[in-house]
Amino acid sequence: MTTVRNPQYTRQNPRSIAIVVLVVLLLLFSGKTIILLGDWLWFQEVGFVTVFNTILTGQMQTAGLFGAAFFFIFFGNLFLAVRLSAADVNLDIHADVINIPVPGPGDALVKRIVLIASLILALFASVQGAAQWESMLLFLNTVPFGVKDPLFDRDIGFYVFQLPFLQYLQGWAVSVLMFTTAATGAVYLLRRSVIFIRPRFFRFSPTARAHILALVAVLFLLAAAGFWLDLYELLYVKRGVVFGAGYTDATTQQWVLVVLAGLSVVVAAVFAVVAYRWNWRLPVFALLVFALLVVLGRSVYPAFVQKFKVVPNEVVLEKPYLEKNIRFTRIAYGLQDIEDRVFAAEEALTIKDIRQNDPTIKNIRLWDYAPLLQTYGQLQEIRTYYKFLTVNNDRYMINGEYRQTMISPRELSYAALPSRTWVNEHMTYTHGYGAVMGPVNRISREGLPEFFIKDIPPVSSGSLKITRPEIYYGNTNNDYVFVRAKRPEFDYPVGDKNVYSRYEGTGGVPLSFWRKILFALRFHSLTILLSDDITSDSRIMFYRTIKERVSRVVPFAKLDGEPYLVVSPQGRLIWFVDAYTTTDRFPYSEPVPKLGNYIRNTLKIIVDAYDGSIRVYVSDEKDPILKSYARIFPGVYKPLKEMDEGLRSHIRYPPGLLRIQARMYQTYHMQDAQVFYNKEDLWTIPRSTIRGSEQEMDPYYTIMKLPDGKKEEFILMLPFTPVKKDNMSAWMAARCDMPDYGKILVYNFPKQRLVYGPRQIEARINQDPVISQQLSLWNQRGSQVISGSMLAIPIEKSIIYVQPLYLAAEKGQLPELRRVVVAFGNAIAMEETLEQSLQRVFGAEAVKEAVAAASVPTKETLAGSADVRQISEALAHYRKAQEYLRSGNWSGFGEELRKMEAILSAAEKQARTGKR
């Protein structure tokens, strides 16, 4: 039977398919094109168009590279299969051949199908390959670390920048070649160069066999390259007690992988030979030997050595590898730069020491984050659509004093708007307003926080003022807003009325008719296009959350958990963000889940809350990873010294980084391999009961004078306790002030002396009959006692503990600071203020004597021995001393006591001599 073909159908069908495919692709990529154009305008707005261009160019280059490579491999082999199959002589057909009734397609049609399929698949390969732009650019911009791995003697830069891309290339090539081999076989099958003989057997033509076996040979050559790259992966395995190549991997896997790589080359040669001289026994034998060596060499043999040789002698055999693990982990996390010191932990603290450390006492944080946010919300949100979402620690010079503060921005909550219309959300309610700031330890008589800055518009009680309170960019915002529109923007409420304003900054993308169309398509909003309020003078603000904004400028960096707000010397609100460079390719370094095994705080990024401008500053110029990115994005990152000095004074050590370093240091402070193996001095971060639940202590900021320090400074600290014990073993401090920023100190306690830890102090608080009775009484009267963070505060060579206690009604949301617990040694006190608790703990003798000496003299006791003027002067000094005591001014308190003592001494002398 003759099959009649329609020449017109055959000629037009591929063209129709191509048109349909093109239309589908345009529909698929049109949305991405619109987003891309909008992003280009955004990068122009913030001044980082270099980042956009570099990323786009890199994506296009990698897309072109992988797309072209795929097309060359796939189309080349399939086109060759079509050409070779056309010259095949028909195979001998016996009676048991399964006949294919439909004749094979013609050469022209097959070639068109192959071409179109190759182009489509190459397009998808290019899209997938575009994601490797970063790996390729890092590969091309390798920077040496200056440190070599201990197993292969290669610079670590090879493992961080080059090895990942090489591994991807090898895996990609294997996948593409396997897919190409299968597709090539399918072409030969369709072209009758492969026919089935009985259900389980088939027969190749010589050309088909040669082609397919040649592809298999290339696959084994790629497998040889894979085994060679696997050699370097030994530096990241975890077998036994060592992260990285231990005894088993160093002594068994190195030579096994080399043998497997060589054997892969031999198997490739076998397949290349039998492609022309067919002998099925030889490739089958080679494959069996290869598979057997893979199973035995990669699984059975190392497991046997680990179990029967290493485990019984682990400490001896693994010692040199443990030393490598310790050394490289300490380098990867910056632990090698930590300075160890001895802390005496004496119990000889006196009232004189308290007076001399008055700035430290003044800056002990009594307000926890959660209770303070609730209190701020009740006192300062003003309207329901304002929210305090975060509160942060910082330090400022307030009226000439170095003070630790808590600051929280008043942001706009779109979910709480009185009417959630499109106009309200995108044109009227566009920004939050101002911030509240207060000292960390000052409270009112009602147990509420005091304020340095409060209210709307911001009212300042000190030298610090906010001149630009609008917050267009913050931690929570809707997708986009329009400013400089015809409709005025809500600024802030005043009584029953509202104050409106017009944006005066440079933030946002300027609009035109065509840009209105673009953003209407991007945000799927016809209202944008139809609105008469949006003019050519208007601007659109999007990417308004701080982390979202920053992540587009530094796409390679990991951002710290939470941005923090700073009031600049000019009165503007500025967001600070810490960014890290990380990798999981640092040899022999213990990894941290979801992070990797190397970290550096390399970038300090500031974002203006009003205009959204971004500045990126380098805080670690030595980091090789950042150096590589600086080559990729030239001119983007500025030296830290170029930051405004007033802002630079607010740089702080990120708590996220110290938490990671502390967790690593609790094990890796042990540098002796024997001690490390036995975990003889393993530390842990203490746990404390906070707001009713036990949790690991977080690093906390405080202002204090370090032991042997010359003045008070802002530090981030965290204590340690021995594992499975509650006494303190050490405390870690990261310095935040210039020029010592970034230096980490660890103060070790004497091992022969017991120093109470946080949980032990908590237990003593709960066991104190007076305190426990008071707390039980409060909890039974419709109130709830909320325990604040337990803070260990080093003073001189001693440690005192401070814990605030808050009282809140069960149905209320206004926690009040009602008591402060102070513990030192065996003494413990709970009073209404920190000063009173300190007076009780340290005033058992010294303060008691001072107060006794400062007792108000009566006219009867001084009659005939002192005149009224002396009595009045002594009383005035006494009253002033009490005022200083209530405000926490210990130096002023001591000075007034000395003046009063001088007057009383003079009066006593007059009384004894009888002189007036």
Q: pLDDT digits over 493-545, tens only?
A: 888 889 999 999 999 999 999 999 999 999 999 999 999 999 999 999 999 99
Partners of 704 in beta bridges: 713
Three-state secondary-structure class, residue 478: coil
> Is the model's pLDDT at 814 over the cut of 80?
yes
Which pLDDT score, from 0 to 100, does residue 891 have?
63
| Tokens found for residue 394 | 């910082």
Element of type H or E holding 639: strand 638-639
Lowest mean pLDDT among 46-55, 481-490, 762-771: 762-771
Which pLDDT score, from 0 to 100, does residue 642 have?
94
Which pLDDT score, from 0 to 100, does residue 846 have?
42
> Is the model's pLDDT at 243 over the cut of 90?
yes
| Stretch 150-165: mean pLDDT | 96
Question: Using CB atoms within 10 A of its CB, is residue 764 exposed (0-12), middle (13-18) or buried (19+)?
Answer: middle
pTM of the model: 0.85
pLDDT band at 106 (very low <50, low <70, confident <90, very high): low
Give 335 or 348, the one with higher predicted confidence: 335
> Is the model's pLDDT at 342 over the cut of 80?
yes
pLDDT tens digits for range 843-887: 744 444 444 443 444 444 444 444 556 676 777 777 677 666 655
* Strands in 374-450 per DSSP E: 386-388, 392-398, 401-412, 432-433, 435-439
How does DSSP assign 481-507, residue by residue?
EEES-SSPEEEEEETTEEEEE---SS-
Lowest mean pLDDT among 734-748, 773-787, 874-888: 874-888
| Stretch 665-686: mean pLDDT | 94
pLDDT tens digits for range 624-642: 999 999 999 998 999 999 9
Give 232 or 354, the one with higher predicted confidence: 232
Contact criterion met (CB below 8 Å) for 550 and 539: no
pLDDT tens digits for range 169-228: 999 999 999 999 999 988 888 777 655 445 555 566 788 888 999 999 999 999 999 999
As a whole number of angstroms, the distance between CA 229 and CA 170 comes to 9
Indicate the average pLDDT of the chain. Answer: 86
Which pLDDT score, from 0 to 100, does residue 346 have?
83
Which pLDDT score, from 0 to 100, does residue 83 have?
84
Q: What percent of the chain has pLDDT over 90?
A: 61
pLDDT tens digits for range 576-594: 999 999 999 999 999 998 8
> Is the model's pLDDT at 656 over the cut of 80?
yes
Which pLDDT score, from 0 to 100, does residue 753 have?
82
Which pLDDT score, from 0 to 100, does residue 415 have?
87
List Cβ<8 Å contacts ≥24 apart for 831-835. 833/443, 833/886, 833/888, 834/361, 834/364, 834/366, 834/441, 834/802, 834/888, 835/885, 835/886, 835/887, 835/888
| Stretch 780-787: mean pLDDT | 79
Which pLDDT score, from 0 to 100, does residue 850 have?
42
| Stretch 771-788: mean pLDDT | 82
Give 709 or 60, the one with higher predicted confidence: 60
| Stretch 558-585: mean pLDDT | 95
Which pLDDT score, from 0 to 100, does residue 872 have?
67
